[in-house]
Amino acid sequence: MTVKYKIKHLKISAMIVDSKIKLSIIIENIIKYVETKINKSKTHDFSSIITVSVESIRIVHNLPVTLTPSYTIYEDFIIIKYHKLILIFSN
């Protein structure tokens, strides 16, 4: 399922909601744009689950994702370097 959302002041037309994943994923460019603090103490290895080259940068904690003006979710995301705009939200 895809939905529109906003992170801080950045409006994005769609995100993927996937009930099969355990951790939410976001690309580095979104994090740089919204200037959010990054936890640099952890990284993740995706080599066993992803067939394309993806580098895990770090984690961002409690990132506010606004789905409607009255509904904001605070979620932890794994930050990845990837060439396409992507946000995958665990359900």
Q: What is the pLDDT of residues 6-42, one digit of tens each?
A: 777 777 766 677 777 777 888 888 888 888 878 777 6
What pLDDT does residue 77 have? 87
What pLDDT does residue 49 have? 56
Calculate the alpha carbon distances from 87 to 29, 41, 67 in Å.
11, 21, 13
CB 41 within 8 A of CB 60: no
65-78 pLDDT, tens digit per residue, is 888 788 888 988 88
Residue 57 pLDDT more than 70? Answer: no
pTM listed for this prediction: 0.71
Q: How far apart are CA 68 and CA 44, in angstroms?
A: 31
What domains can you pick out in the chain, each with its CATH number? 2-90 (2.40.70.10)
